[in-house]
Amino acid sequence: MADKTPVFGAHQVQLLEKLCNASGVSGDEGEVRKIVLEEVKPYADTVKVDSLGSVLVTKNGKTAERVRLMLDAHMDEVGFMLVNDDGDGLFSFEVIGGIDPRSLPGKQVLVGKNKLPGVIGARPIHLTSREDRQRKIPVDALRIDLGPGGSGKVKVGERAVFATRFRRAGGSLFSKAIDDRIGVATLIELLKAAPENLDLCLSFTVQEENGLRGARVAAFQLKPEMAIAVDATPANDLPVFDGSENTFYNTRLGAGPAIYTFDGGTLNDPRLINFLAQTAVEAKIPFQYRQPGGGKTNAGEIHLAQTGVPSVSISVPHRYTHTAISLSRVEDWKNTLLLLHSALKRITPALLSFERP
């Protein structure tokens, strides 16, 4: 079964649906962890849950000269923590991760392990002035409202996520938490088809949205020779208000997997950037370079682990990150999986024997 190219189909989409619909705010990733453990156990040599809650998996290859490669995807998502019970089913909340407060009014949420439904409302337009409507609504003016019977059903400290359920419409996927359940699903599929030239180690990490904290200790424990962080990156490819060219799109939806060059946390290893791009060209898989700029992936911590780990990031483009509904294309995900699979098979120790430019 080794070396088998993943056949992309309904099964993968079902796995992604299960992962996206799970609640897993940074620091409370249990539901996602449970799914990951179930999925990886039949294929792994070793599986452990580390002290922060990340799932670390190894799968050794068979060839003589193997490379110890780390693949990382984070399990956590942005969300909320209930911080005060205001009575009558209303709770004050704090935001966890980079959520634009302008995306919160009018959304449904699910609170806690039992997924108790609630809503984040807004003052009726009839009771606002024109001046009010020109100011954004701050988070501290918003409440999670469970309904008047909600007090006592949940406690402060519990997490909440956007309530959006996964939806496929044609070639598009609409969901919360595509960042980074799409990476988690990709790693699971790569493990199932692990090539024999690698000692593969996978980290399904916690707390990426809280400062890349899970990846830091995961890389320390796994001691890889090289690493690839698999994530979801924003496609800011919307039209500009005045019709001018959008030169700051970051990535474009539908243009294939996005290979990182430089972001706010990592100067990606040029040998690995070129290797991924070359692999895509040879395997005839479309790809794009993510525009150099801000933002971070777990590669930012992994490449500094121990004495340093040559690292690169590759992401599935998605629009409307960290909102109730993100949008991704099935083709982009499929091509990300296929590119990674092709690349993994071709990795040799010689890859890092070239000098860095």
Partner 1 sequence: MPDITPFLKSLLSTAGVSGYEAPVAKLIEEKWRPLVDEIKLSRIGSLTAFKKGSFDGKRPSIMIATHMDAIGMMVTSIVGEFLHVTQIGGIDARILPGSPVTVHATRTGKTEELYGVVAQPLMRALPPEISDGPVPLHELLIDTGLSAKEAASKVNIGDVVSFATLPVDLSGEVISGHTLDNRASVAALTVALEELQAKKHLWDVWAVATAQEETILGGGYTSAFELRPDLAVTIDVTFAKGPGAADWGTFPLGKGPTIAYGPNIHPYLYKRINDLADRLEIPHAMELVPRHSGTDTFAMQVSAEGIPTAVLGIPLRYMHTPVEMVAVKDIQRTGRLMAEFISALEVDFIENITWDD
Active site residue 209: no
Question: Of 208, 209, 301, 355, which one is the catalytic site residue?
Answer: 208
Measured in whole angstroms, how far is the alpha carbon of residue 83 from the centre of its chain? 26
CB of 75 to partner 1, least distance (A): 22
The interface with partner 1 within residues 117-156 (CB under 8 A) comprises: 117-128, 133-137, 141-143, 145-150, 153
Residues 225 to 254: which contact partner 1 by CB under 8 A?
Answer: 236, 238-242, 246, 248, 254
- The Cα–Cα gap between 194 and 340 comes to 11
**What is the phi/psi pair of residue 321, to 5°?**
-60, 150
Cα–Cα dist 278/339, whole Å:
10
Could you say whether residue 103 binds partner 1 (CB under 8 A)?
Answer: yes
Binding to partner 1 by residue 172, rule CB under 8 A? yes
- Pick between residue 128 and residue 221 the one whose CB is nearest to partner 1: 128
Q: How far is the CB of 122 from partner 1 (least distance, A)?
A: 5
Cβ atoms of 300 and 213 closer than 8 Å? no
Pick the binder of partner 1 from 59, 68, 107, 318 (CB under 8 A): 107
Q: Does 113 bind partner 1 (CB under 8 A)?
A: no
Binding of partner 1 by 89 (CB under 8 A): yes
Residue 240: DSSP 8-state: P
For residue 101, the tally of other CB atoms under 10 A from its CB is 14
**b/e burial code for range 299-336 (CB count within 10 A of at least 16 → b):** bbbbbbbeeebbbbbbbbbbbbbbbbebbbbbbbbbbb
Q: Which residues within the stretch 288-347 sit at the binding site for partner 1 (CB under 8 A)?
A: 319-320, 323-325, 327
DSSP state of 79: E
47 in Cβ contact with 55 (< 8 Å):
yes
Sign of CA dihedral 205, 208, 214, 217: positive
Among positions 22, 25, 160, 163, the unique one binding partner 1 when judged by CB under 8 A: 163
User: Which residue, 267 or 330, is less far from partner 1 as judged by CB?
Assistant: 330
Please identify every residue annotated as catalytic.
208
Positions touching partner 1 (CB under 8 A) are: 89-90, 100, 102-103, 105-108, 116-128, 133-137, 141-143, 145-150, 153, 163-164, 167, 169-172, 174, 236, 238-242, 246, 248, 254, 319-320, 323-325, 327
